[in-house]
Structure 1
Amino acid sequence: MQFKSDVVVTAYKASKGEMNGKPYDSTKVYIETGLQAGERSKGIIATEYTWGLSSNYEVIEKFDPPFKAVAVMQQVSNGRDVKTILVDLIPEKLPVVQGLPK
């Protein structure tokens, strides 16, 4: 099942290289997530999502976190557990470029 969600991106990073002979290539995105309120918990945390290859970093590198975006997500299951995958991330506004009118 695929769905869209308005989110706040709190951080992001790209990683590419090789470790112990195995290549890796990904962009990690940290999205604001409400903490289930309870008797002894409250606040907002960030959940880490892998968003494709490190080249996706270029799509959002001009945005200073935190920033609003629309996340396209997909829920998948192995029959027992449900996992949410970040399929795409569309920033809400164009980044402000220094020296240009806002």
Structure 2
Amino acid sequence: MLFKSTMVVLGAKSSKGNYNGIPFDKTTIFYKADLQEGDNFVGEVGESMVWGLSDNFQKIKSLEYPLMADVTLEQVSNGSATRMIIKDLVPQKQQQQGNAPK
């Protein structure tokens, strides 16, 4: 199941290698999330979600953070647990500093 959304991307990390004979290759996106409402919660937190292979990191590493991005999310399951992954991430155009309207 696919969902479209907008998120505030706080940062990203590329991971590729081999751990105990098991290869891994991914990009992790860190994004801003609201805490649930309640007496013991207030504010926002940083959460993480996987966005494909480590090659995706190259597409966004030179951008200024935090940034707004349009994302396509997919809900996936292994039969016992459900999670969301990023299928596509498109940064929204960043305003040039010094060129902002007054």
Equivalent residue, structure 2, for 1:10: 10
The answer (yes or no) to whether the contact 1:62–1:95 under 8 Å persists in 2 is: no
Give ranges in structure 2 of 5+ residues lacking alignment. none
Between the aligned residues of both structures, percent identity stands at 38
Counterparts of residues 1-102 of structure 1 (less than 5 Å):
1-77=1-77, 81-93=81-93
1-structure distance, mates of 2:21, 2:59: 28
When residues 78 and 30 of structure 1 are mapped into structure 2, their CA distance, relative to the original with a 3 A threshold, is same
Q: One-letter code of the match for 1:25?
A: D
SS at match of 1:57: helix
SS at match of 2:27: strand
Q: Which moved more, 1:87-96 or 1:69-78?
A: 87-96
SS at match of 2:65: coil
Give ranges in structure 1 of 5+ residues lacking alignment. none
When residues 25 and 80 of structure 1 are mapped into structure 2, their CA distance, relative to the original with a 3 A threshold, is closer
Question: What RMSD, in angstroms, separates the aligned Cα atoms of the two structures?
Answer: 2.1
The answer (yes or no) to whether the contact 1:77–1:83 under 8 Å persists in 2 is: yes
Q: TM-score, normalised by structure 1?
A: 0.83
